[in-house]
Amino acid sequence: MLKIWSMKKEQQKAENAEGAAGGKKKKVTAAQLRVQKDLSELSLGTTMTTEFPDPDDILSFILYIEPDEGMYYGGRFSFTFNITPNFPHEPPKVQCREKIYHPNIDLEGKVCLNILREDWKPVLNLNAVIVGLQFLFLEPNASDPLNKEAAEDLRQNREAFKRNVRAAMNGYTVKGEAFDKVMIQ
Amino acid sequence: MASADVYPASEPARWKYLDNVRTRSGPHTNPDIFDGKLVAEAMENMKVLVIGAGGLGCEILKNLALSGFKNIHVIDMDTIDISNLNRQFLFRQADVGSFKAEVAARFVERRVKGVKITPHNCKIQDFDEDFYMQFQLLVCGLDSIEARRWINATLVNMVDEDAEDSYKPLIDGGTEGFKGQARVIIPTVTSCIECQLDMHAPRAAVPLCTLASIPRQPEHCIEWAHVIAWDKEKPFPSLDKDDPEHITWLYQKALIRAHEFKIPGVTYALTQGVVKNIIPAIAATNSVIAAACCNEALKIAANCAPCLGFPDENNYMMYSGNDSIYTYTFRHEKKDDCPVCGNLARELIVDPDWTLRELVESFAVRPESQLKKPSIRSDHKTLYMQSPASLEAKSRPNLDKTLAELGLSSGDEIGVTDPAFATVSFKYKLKLQK
Amino acid sequence: MTEIVTSQTPPILNGPSEKERKYDRQLRLWAASGQAALESANILLVNSGAGTVGVEALKNLVLPGIGRFAIYDDALVNEADLGVNFFLDESCLGKSRSQSLTALLLELNPEVQGAWFPNRENVTSLESLLVSSPVFTAAIYTYPVQPEHLSLLKTYGLQHKIPLFGVHSAGFYSYFKIGLPGAFPIVDTHPDETATTDFRLLTPWPELLTFARDLTRDIDNLDHMEHGHLPYAVILLYYLDQWKLAHSGVSPKTYKEKTEFRKIVQSAARTDNAEGGEENFEEAAAAVLKTLVSPSLPSGLKEVFEYKSKFPAEERSGFWIIADAVEKFYAEHQCLPVPGNVPDMKAQSKVYVQLQNIYKAKARQDAAEVLNTVRATEGGQNIDPAEVELFCKNAAFVKLINATGGDSNSTASAGDHLKTVVDQELENDKNAEAMMMPLSLLPIYLALQATSHVSSANADEILAEICKVVPGANQNERIVKAAHEVARAEGGELHNIAALTGGMVAQEMIKIVTKQYVPIDNTCVFDGINSRCQVLRL
């Protein structure tokens, strides 16, 4: 059998001297540790809060966004975050919990944000994702729509679109679709 | 240069070719670590674990059995599908639906007299370190990165510097079409699978908005059916990618959409390929890569020739057969900031009567960390998180509890992070001592 | 009363057949055409020595479904076979090895037929097998091989123009050599997809120009949506027009001009939108250096054209007639037929499909022109238009293997050639370390080749044999070590090395039978100690 031990000893530098120790207990996984780090570095500002239904499970939580400017001002939007053990190799799965009128969020709550899909890289962190989500409410993008009707609306007539956003946020029906009420009283 | 004496196995006539090479030194054998007298018996007593009984796994089992290993275990949770039969040569039409590990183990046992193969029809995650500790060597033929990362982290965590047998060499193979790779990982000694994660290209993804509004390729139509139309219409309670009825539903949806946008090329096979992320696979490539892996296993076990994975030597072989044959064998460097092998748990002696607050404060004065705002979790419990606010509030009551009250015991691992250290996190293994 | 049944469901869609399901993972590599070629292949294995490597190769051919195979092997199964060969078991001891192997290989795939020789009936020698059997598509023989068997096979190979694979595996080393009956062209080379983009932006045709100009006529007044979805090929054509206006009609040629052009494209992206930039302009800028190239003749095709003029008497198969026609096309247009594929790019569906159709139409037109030339050529009347289309589509990646001409199975002047390669490789080795290049594996080939016809030899015998070809070889440390390593095996195989080599041989056989992907030219040496291989032309 390969003499790994002697090889290792030769290679070992003093700095690692107090390194690993064996054991049979459960270990903190790379994904968990990375999420822990990302969470402790989140900068939520005044417009965002989190909620952990089970504080011991940091791989699933809810993010609330209350935009303080722009056309979605006054609303409270929530997103579920589900992180797999393959994080950060895979991006977190994010979904909007309310049915809202937004060119980049469809009626099922799917979000079109590049870093949640095609442009995700393991060096990105959860903060980058929440910044991206926040940005969607300030600058909805009509050129790359997920909700085509909303995008068309925004492109044709920004003022009319704004009115429809307000109506939808108040729980009214827009273009035949009933939306969830997300206005904070 | 070559020593003359052969030290035969228990059946010398049968194993003469193998014994000629594994029990005699050659011009490249390292005399400091080679002892031909011990090889045959040592290998017979060695326990080897094969992870995966698919395309690579079938080959690996055959190769190990014909390399002089006698005690082999194999894990695979899958059952045999008809599409396996073009390469998983231990399976027949009549085996479709049976467990791969079971059928493969029985077949090789029947064919190669004297080898014992123990099948485990389950996930690798169903076993703990006690199970993995019994093996001297692991050979891995998986198609999932997630499973590779899991076994890699498990083996790295098992390393105990003071126990030679806690270092479990992991030999990993992978193929795609005419290409593949074989690598040897010696936990904490060589670069590990996590260090090498960038060698796996992430699956190319298309923006959701492209799927939703401007599809251009047949794949876009299929993905649309898969991620958008399915969720909207929920034709079945949950998507079973192996159910032809489900695939047919997606295929029809994709066809209609492709027709609408005048996009040619949607087929049933493409639909299946996109939805299941099918990677082409053939017997020939599996044969090459599995044999490259088992060749390293033999060299590691017998020391009869230098293996991949020695410190400062090559540890990775890339193989490509698309355009002529090309191999690139190189040393992949260990990453100091690897979240798995660059960050081993240190021992931390704590008093069980300490409150969590005392533990938190102690990190401020530990020389290697000096953390001002540490957040602490164990694998299943959030002990104290400084942020975000909601988690801080929920975990704050823990600060006044003692470590014993929080259920912590010796051997538990905790992860400590601090925003002041953007790139590192710390892991500690607790040792409770009054 | 008549009932009118209306149904919204589309017509019944047939799923894949049983066979398509079984072969699904390989059909994704070589498609139905490759599979059909495999299924009509009839492969001969002349097995000898330890006898595993050829069987492992055959296993990897039976599984994907070759039509039939035959094994010629006059050995009887002994104990040592059971320690190395998986397709034999206890019950085979003392029986004919070819018979036992055939039985266990056939279990792998009920669609494959197999036969074994010598049998107790009419075929008692290799010679009688070669005479009586339907013509083989290719033959594999394993070393050590009886010289008379080898010469029979070489004669057969020449006579029937079939490829011969010689395979030698001993201990940690192996090599195999493919002898092709002549130049071997491949059209369906499966190039890397990223390499196949060919927009002809510097030589656009009228339909393409009109399309691009229509889309960009009012480029500054397009709304954000339209501007942000102009296909990058169209963007480049527009700015090329602009550039030419400012540069007396000349496109950017030098690297400096191209980078300057790239800057212009980059700075034309709008930033006053939600994204603060435009992906399509990023794609355009990134594609400048790769797509702004004048048409030229790729080396593979050049080799085909040159070979054609050197060996005009070569048998005129469809390939050569089409190659002739493509060369005429090239001479007339100074460019190859347009391949017609358009990579995915940011664009609206309708516009992208239009652009795709413009390229497809041009590709069809070019292929039709080539087909006309083919039809006008003697022997070209019956060539399948699909073959012409495939050639045109892949023209830039067509490759010729064994292009030195003639039969690489012939032994004449082989010794001289080997000597030259040895000198070259050993010379390279002197600088290998400084150049960070791996060392030559030729010593392994030499040591194995020295035992081509003997079951086992010691290091001195091997070195003496090598010295006959390479005088002074016994002074070269690496050759000496290789000789010792080969001697250690005493002609025995390690199963792993046999399986690995069998895998490579099967890959190559598949490439040659399907005429897809690119086979080696012509010898591959594997070093199981350092886990790497080298392809040499020997």
B48-74 tens-digit pLDDT: 999 999 999 999 999 999 999 999 999
- Choosing from B122, B209, B293, B304, the catalytic residue is B209
Mean pLDDT (whole number) for C229-241: 97
Mean pLDDT (whole number) for B306-326: 94
Closest approach of chain B CAs to the CA of A82, in angstroms?
16
Residue B299 near residue B184, CB atoms below 8 Å: no
Question: What is the spatial distance between Cα C395 and Cα C299, in angstroms, rounded to a whole number?
Answer: 11
Long-range contacts at A124-128 (CB < 8 A, ≥ 24 apart): A124/A88, A124/A91, A125/A38, A125/A41, A125/A88, A126/A35, A126/A38, A126/A39, A126/A42, A126/A81, A126/A92, A127/A38, A127/A41, A127/A42, A127/A43
Query: The pTM is what?
Result: 0.92
Is a pLDDT exceeding 80 seen at residue A139?
A: yes
Closest approach of chain C CAs to the CA of A47, in angstroms?
20
User: What angle separates helix C232-246 from helix C255-267, to the nearest 10 degrees?
Assistant: 120
Q: How many CB atoms lie within 10 A of CB C379?
A: 12
In this predicted model, which residue has the larger pLDDT, B10 or C537? C537
Is a pLDDT exceeding 70 seen at residue A36?
A: yes
Q: Which residue has the tokens 């696979």?
A: B281
B209: annotated active-site residue: yes
Query: What per-residue string of b and e applies to C355-376 under the rule 16 or more CB within 10 Å gives b?
Result: bbebbeebbbebbebbbebbee
For chain B, the residue count is 434
Residues 122-161 of A with CB under 8 A from C: 139-144, 155
Residue B216 near residue C347, CB atoms below 8 Å: yes
- Choosing from A39, A44, A107, A112, the catalytic residue is A112
Question: What is the spatial distance between Cα A40 and Cα A42, in angstroms, rounded to a whole number?
Answer: 6
pLDDT value, residue A4: 58
| Contact with chain A for residue C225, Cβ under 8 A | yes
Interface test with B, best of C12, C13, C24, C397 (most B CBs within 10 A): C24
Do the Cβ atoms of B413 and A26 come within 8 Å?
A: yes
pLDDT value, residue B51: 98
Which residues in chain B have their CB less than 8 angstroms from residue A25's CB?
409, 411-413, 429
Query: What per-residue string of b and e applies to B318-354 under the rule 16 or more CB within 10 Å gives b?
Result: bbbbbbbbbbebebbebbeebbbbbbbbbebebebeb
Q: Residue B425: which pLDDT band, with cuts at 50, 70 and 90? A: confident
Q: CB-side exposure of B229: number of CA atoms within 13 Å?
A: 21
Do the Cβ atoms of C80 and B17 come within 8 Å?
A: yes
pLDDT value, residue C1: 43
Question: What is the spatial distance between Cα B275 and Cα C365, in angstroms, rounded to a whole number?
Answer: 36
Q: What HEC string does C34-75 produce? A: HHHHHHCCEEEEECCCCCCHHHHHHHHHHCCCCCEEEEECCC
Question: What is the spatial distance between Cα B325 and Cα B319, in angstroms, rounded to a whole number?
Answer: 7
Question: Nearest chain B Cα to C494, which residue?
Answer: B18
Chains with 3 or more CB pairs under 8 A to chain A: B, C
pLDDT value, residue C274: 81
Is a pLDDT exceeding 50 seen at residue A14?
A: no
Closest approach of chain C CAs to the CA of B53, in angstroms?
17
DSSP state of C99: H
What mean pLDDT is reported for chain B? 93
Which residues in chain C have their CB less than 8 angstroms from residue A140's CB?
274
pLDDT value, residue C256: 96
Which residues in chain C have their CB less than 8 angstroms from residue A144's CB?
228, 275
Q: State whether the Cα torsion B361-B362-B365-B366 is positive or negative.
A: negative
Task: Please tell me whether residue C159 adopts helix, strand or coil conformation.
Answer: helix
Interface test with A, best of B377, B385, B398, B430 (most A CBs within 10 A): B377
pLDDT in tens, C125-172: 999 999 999 999 999 999 999 999 999 999 999 999 999 999 999 999
Mean pLDDT (whole number) for C357-380: 96
Closest approach of chain A CAs to the CA of B103, in angstroms?
30
Going by their DSSP bridges, the two strands C138-142 and C113-117 should be labelled as unpaired
What residues have CB less than 8 Å from B187, skipping those under 6 apart?
Answer: B152, B155, B156, B158, B159, B167, B168, B169, B170, B341
pLDDT in tens, B94-137: 999 999 999 999 999 999 999 999 999 999 999 999 999 999 99
pLDDT value, residue C455: 86
Is a pLDDT exceeding 70 seen at residue B349?
A: yes
pLDDT value, residue B8: 85
Amino acid at C192: D
Q: What angle do CA B370, B376, B378 make, to 5 degrees?
A: 135
Strand-pairing partners, residue B173, are: B141, B182
Closest approach of chain C CAs to the CA of B285, in angstroms?
6
Q: How many CB atoms lie within 10 A of CB C523?
A: 22
pLDDT value, residue C4: 45
Which residues in chain C have their CB less than 8 angstroms from residue B103's CB?
none
Mean pLDDT (whole number) for A52-78: 96
Do the Cβ atoms of C224 and A143 come within 8 Å?
A: yes
Is a pLDDT exceeding 80 seen at residue A5?
A: no
Is a pLDDT exceeding 90 seen at residue A140?
A: yes
Q: How many CB atoms lie within 10 A of CB A129?
A: 23
| Contact with chain A for residue B250, Cβ under 8 A | no
Residue C361 near residue C339, CB atoms below 8 Å: no
Mean pLDDT (whole number) for C102-116: 98
Do the Cβ atoms of C481 and B256 come within 8 Å?
A: no
Residue B48 near residue B69, CB atoms below 8 Å: yes
pLDDT value, residue B427: 86
Question: What is the spatial distance between Cα C407 and Cα C399, in angstroms, rounded to a whole number?
Answer: 18
Query: What per-residue string of b and e applies to A101-112 under the rule 16 or more CB within 10 Å gives b?
Result: bbbbbbbebbbb
Question: What is the spatial distance between Cα C329 and Cα C388, in angstroms, rounded to a whole number?
Answer: 13
Is a pLDDT exceeding 60 seen at residue A19?
A: no
Is a pLDDT exceeding 80 seen at residue C12?
A: no
Residue C338 near residue C200, CB atoms below 8 Å: yes
Mean pLDDT (whole number) for B339-346: 85
Residues 363-392 of C with CB under 8 A from B: none
Beta strands of C171-305 (E only): which ranges?
173-179, 184-186
Mean pLDDT (whole number) for A130-149: 93
pLDDT value, residue B336: 86
